[in-house]
Amino acid sequence: MDLGSLPLVAVTPIDHPLAEHLLLALRDRTTPPAVFRTLTKRLTTVLMLEATRDYPTRPRTVETPLEETTGRSLAQPLVAVPILRAGLGMLDAVVELFPAVRVGYLGLERDEATFQPSEYYAKLPRLDDARTFVLDPMLATGGSASAALQSVKEAGAGEVTMVSVVSAPEGVKVLEDDHPDVRIFTAALDRELSESAYILPGLGDFGDRLFGTEP
């Protein structure tokens, strides 16, 4: 697609050979759920390293076995909020990279006819002192992500980042309009949405492929 038509200030497509390699394997319809889960975790690791590149740090002094030295350590709490179900596939990577993470959960489901999201579960930790990362692998119409971002903001979140695997231009536009302050990190900006609001070329229904519930 024409990247020039997108608000690239807000969207960062990850440009890394490993991310491309993992994404293509996720797109492959023959990839079984067990492999799909492993690939999702690896790709989320790459995405999170990029999404936290400017994470605040503060100086800290330690004693090595030989002498004193000063380095830097993370200076702000981190919150991860996976959107159920598919966002759960991204959570393990974040927990392994940031063991002190606080985790919140938002359950959102798209209506199959209207594509409108409805929230069926919400459990959020303290957000106002942290950086919040909302995890959802598919940014399609943008309805689910926009509703999730609204929920975390209403719960007190300050700086919020959206992390997705595949994004459609339509969804990016919705977030740009509804949440211009939120940065989006994604492994792919795909071409368009289908009539049934699936991302093209996309990778199908992420939740079904992750949890082995394909019809």
- Closer residue to ligand PRP, CB minimum distance, 128 or 214: 214
Token digits of residue 24: 């293509």
When asked if residue 170 is in the footprint of ligand URA (CB under 6 A), the reply is: no
Tokens 């492993």 label which residue?
38
Interface with ligand PRP, residue 44, by CB under 6 A = no
The answer to whether 183 contacts ligand PRP (rule: CB under 6 A) is no
Q: Does 115 bind ligand PRP (CB under 6 A)?
A: yes
Residue from 140, 148, 160, 172 touching ligand URA (CB under 6 A): that is 140
Going 149 to 40 to 86 to 209, the CA torsion angle's sign is positive
Least separation in angstroms between residue 20's CB and ligand URA is: 19
Element (H, E) at 189: strand 183-189
Q: For this structure, is 110 an active site residue?
A: yes
Beta-bridge partner residues of 68 = 63
Alpha helices in the chain (DSSP H): 17-27, 33-51, 88-97, 143-154, 169-178, 206-211
Whichever of 140 and 187 has its CB closer to ligand URA, that residue is: 140
Instruction: Give which of 165, 163, 160 is closest to 189, Cα–Cα.
Output: 165
User: SS3 for 18?
Assistant: helix
Instruction: Give the nearest residue (CB) to ligand PRP.
Output: 207
Listed in sequence order, the residues at least 6 apart from 176 whose beta carbon sits closer than 8 Å to its beta carbon are: 7, 10
> Which two three-digit tokens encode residue 38?
């492993």
Residue ranges in 185-214 that form contacts with ligand URA under rule CB under 6 A: 198-199, 202, 205-207
Q: Is 129 a catalytic residue?
A: no
Q: What is the DSSP letter of 15?
A: -
**Nearer to ligand PRP among residue 61 and residue 196 (C-beta):** 196
**Which residue, 45 or 164, has its beta carbon nearer to ligand PRP?**
164
For position 81 contacting ligand PRP by CB under 6 A, the verdict is: no
User: In the numeric block, which tokens belong to residue 30?
Assistant: 């023959």
User: Does residue number 207 form part of the binding site for ligand PRP (CB under 6 A)?
Assistant: yes
Q: Does 169 bind ligand PRP (CB under 6 A)?
A: no
Residues engaged in binding ligand PRP (CB under 6 A):
83, 85-86, 108-110, 115, 117, 136, 138-145, 171, 197, 206-207
Active site residues: 110, 114, 205, 208
